Amino acid sequence: MFNKLLTLLSLASTATIGAVARPAIISVPSAGVYTVQNVGTGLALDVSGGSGAQGTPVVVSAPDSTTSSQQWTLSFPGPFAAFQTELSPSPFIHAAFDSASGLTFLDLADQVPSEFELTPSTTGINICFDPVNIGCFTSPVVAGGRVTLAEFTGAPNQTWVFTSAAN
């Protein structure tokens, strides 16, 4: 009887001690207007010079929720997400391969938008075009640096947080 009681106490303490709470997965945001901030750098998705012109590079800058160049309309035209700047003429984020550098950069284009997969994690959202072959939004560490698509590593500079920009 005493051995059974010890066994039950041992199992109960193991279950209590061994139960580790897992952080909640952040959910994918719904369609709407957002500011998008990088978890690793603290910098926000922006457009160079505040210009909505086609071909303008997508960069990161110090967060400023009042700046329209940091406000992005997130939509789901198909199974994946598209990002459109709030600047006139409202072009979309487009993935563009640069043969000189061998990198894929993000810029603005009036054409059909590139569609991106949003993958939630415990710290934010990974925004990927093709995680293995092309890559995920990757923040440079310096404000004004261009956002690239790099192979998914799960690093904080590839994780983003969406904050509603609705007033």
Interval 38-47: pLDDT, tens: 999 999 999 9
Q: Is 95 within the bounds of a domain?
A: yes
Q: What is the pLDDT of residue 34?
A: 95
Phi, psi of 126 (to 5 degrees): -95, 130
Q: Which residue numbers in the chain have pLDDT < 50? A: 1-16
Q: Is 141 within the bounds of a domain?
A: yes
Domain span at residue 100 reads 25-164
Q: Is 38 within the bounds of a domain?
A: yes
pTM: 0.82
* C-alpha to C-alpha distance for 17 and 6, rounded to whole angstroms: 16
The CATH number of the domain where 35 resides is what?
2.80.10.50
Interval 136-151: pLDDT, tens: 999 999 999 999 999 9
The count of structural domains within the chain is 1
Q: What is the pLDDT of residue 18?
A: 54
Beta strand ranges found along the chain (DSSP E): 32-38, 44-47, 58-61, 72-75, 82-85, 92-98, 103-109, 117-120, 125-130, 135-138, 148-150, 160-164
